[in-house]
Amino acid sequence: MGTPKLDKRTRSSPLLAVDAVIHDSEYGVVFVRRRYPPYQGYWALPGGMVEYGETVETAFTREVKEETGLDVEPHGLVGVFSDPSRDPRGHVVSIVFHAVIVGGILLASSDALEVKWFSKPPRQLAFDHQIILDASRAVLRGEDRKTG
């Protein structure tokens, strides 16, 4: 199946993506270093495009496994991020979940150059992932927060 093209000139509706906040009180948050543009070499939360016919939950577990080697399950919604300018390739709406690790070994693969835990977010974050991290912290603290 493959990921749909992100050509702004030919798309008439947004694409759908998923992202994961994998948080551990001891280690921090998992980030992947992007292998490909946009934001090549920048750090990002694990995630990617939902394929046609796939549920967001299935896409979530697939994308995290492909990029991090970890087996995860969604554990609560962080939010829906829909700012049309959040992805330079075009309008992409991301559904973001917190993740619980249920297996696997942290190992970069697929679209990731590197994967690791960060106790503080890395400097070069891709997309709107700082906004997502802020929303995640608010959700974990039990605050009501508007998503983007």
Residue recorded with tokens 């087996």: 71
Estimate to the nearest angstrom the gap between the alpha carbon of 119 and the chain centroid.
Answer: 17
Annotated catalytic residue, options 26, 63, 73, 114? 114
Tokens matching residue 95: 């559904």
Give the side-chain half-sphere CA count within 13 A for 104. 19
Nearest to 96 by CA among 88, 86, 109: 86
Q: Specify whether 143 is catalytic.
A: no
For CA atoms 10, 14, 16, 17, the dihedral sign is positive
Rounded (5°) CA angle 52-54-57? 140
Radius of gyration of the chain measured on its C-alpha atoms = 14
Q: Give the residue numbers annotated as catalytic, written as ranges.
A: 114
